[in-house]
Structure 1
Amino acid sequence: MTYAVLTARLALAGVLLVSAVAKARSFEETWAMLDGLLRRIGPGARRSAGPSAVALIAVEGTTGLALLGPAQTVRPGLVAAVVLTAAFTAAAVVATVSRAEVACACFGRPAARLGRRHIVRNTPLLGLAVLGLAGTGAVSGTSPAAPAVVLCSVAAAVITVVTAFFDDIADLLATP
């Protein structure tokens, strides 16, 4: 279980940190995405798109760093990762059900309309967060061996890259 939790932590940290940096670099697209989602709540909620974008970037970055931090930050980081991935999945569900024309700027650049593919992308991330959180109690206090850390890191890097480029991969594999 130690290796599964380590892989989950590293993968979630990678995804969240890449997402936070990309959102910060493309702040206008992030603002537009949140504005489109908040429009579903009501006209007053749209005023909070800017502050919400700043808060989202900060929470994603902080959560990613917590997952990489010392033992005392891991559990709160995993709780935050569960909440974030559940919220991201819920936003994709709302956008799909309401047929909202909201471009997904999840990784900074608007790649596709927020919808089913993002539910498919986010559900395994939510599973990783839950696995990590559930497994933290079962993890022993011993450090994993170096080869295992390398293997977990490589797996996490693959998960991060596939997640960050999921829209591009889905478009590439889509039938014309």
Structure 2
Amino acid sequence: MTSLAIGCRVLIGVVFVIAVAGKLRRATAFTEFVASVRQMGVLPPALARPAAVAVAAAELAIVLALAVPARQAGVLGFGLAVGLLAAMTAGIAMSLARGNREPCRCFGRSETPLGARHVGRNVVLVAVALLGLLGSLSGGPVDAGIAVVVAVAGAVLGGLVVMLDDIIALVEPASTGIR
């Protein structure tokens, strides 16, 4: 495993641990996530709940796989992450193409309408997961000091990814209603 793979493991792990925790922290949070899947209009309404369960289960599997320091676990975790992120990106893009901007509950409660930044965020996360997958496939010694630095960087970047909507809201001009 390379240092790059360690940083990617932590970044993707942080994103998905917060995502699954946001959905499962209480029953109403999961119910809101199911409703957001239904409102996206990508799947037939009857499939919204099974899809939401599958997403939460996949997120949990990704977190668990990436937490195991074995090469095969990293390959599995990153492979699942690429697949799930690609599917979610396609779902968001399809929803946007239909003019639907209903907020997604990807990380729990959110009122931010879906937009191109959510597609962009997921594309970047797919790239990170692919880099992690490649790094997991290659071997070699890892310097402990570098491993700590990239793990901390991964944790910080993962947190920033999760908080992207809030960060953007801080820098967007406020709507005053005055014209």
Q: TM-score by structure 2 length?
A: 0.87
Q: Could you tell me which of 167, 170, 174 is aligned with 2:168?
A: 170
- How many angstroms apart in 2 are the aligned matches of 1:111 and 1:125? 22
Residue matched to 2:47: 48
Residue matched to 2:31: 28
- How many angstroms apart in 2 are the aligned matches of 1:49 and 1:84? 16
Residue matched to 1:3: 3
- How many angstroms apart in 1 are the aligned matches of 2:56 and 2:115? 21
Matches within 5 A, 1:67-86: 67-69=66-68, 70-86=70-86
8 Å CA contact 1:36–1:101 kept in 2: the answer is no
- How many angstroms apart in 2 are the aligned matches of 1:129 and 1:137? 12
Deviation at 1:84, TM superposition (A): 1.2
Code of the aligned partner of 1:34: V
Greater than 3 Å deviation, 4+ residue runs:
none
Matches within 5 A, 1:126-145: 126-140=126-140, 142=141, 144-145=142-143
- How many angstroms apart in 2 are the aligned matches of 1:120 and 1:111? 18
Residue matched to 1:120: 120
Code of the aligned partner of 2:151: S
Residue matched to 1:103: 103
- How many angstroms apart in 2 are the aligned matches of 1:97 and 1:57? 25
Aligned length: 170
Residue matched to 2:63: 64
**2:160 maps to 1:158:** no
Amino-acid identity (%): 32
Deviation at 1:79, TM superposition (A): 0.7
Stretches of structure 1 lacking an aligned partner (at least 5 in a row): none
- How many angstroms apart in 1 are the aligned matches of 2:72 and 2:52? 27
- How many angstroms apart in 2 are the aligned matches of 1:4 and 1:60? 21
8 Å CA contact 2:103–2:110 kept in 1: the answer is yes
- How many angstroms apart in 2 are the aligned matches of 1:86 and 1:164? 17
- How many angstroms apart in 2 are the aligned matches of 1:40 and 1:81? 20
- How many angstroms apart in 2 are the aligned matches of 1:27 and 1:55? 12
3-state secondary structure, aligned to 2:101: coil
Deviation at 1:136, TM superposition (A): 2.3
3-state secondary structure, aligned to 1:113: coil
- How many angstroms apart in 1 are the aligned matches of 2:32 and 2:117? 19
Aligned CA RMSD, in angstroms, stands at: 1.6
- How many angstroms apart in 2 are the aligned matches of 1:15 and 1:91? 18
Code of the aligned partner of 2:36: M
Deviation at 1:24, TM superposition (A): 1.2
Deviation at 1:12, TM superposition (A): 0.6
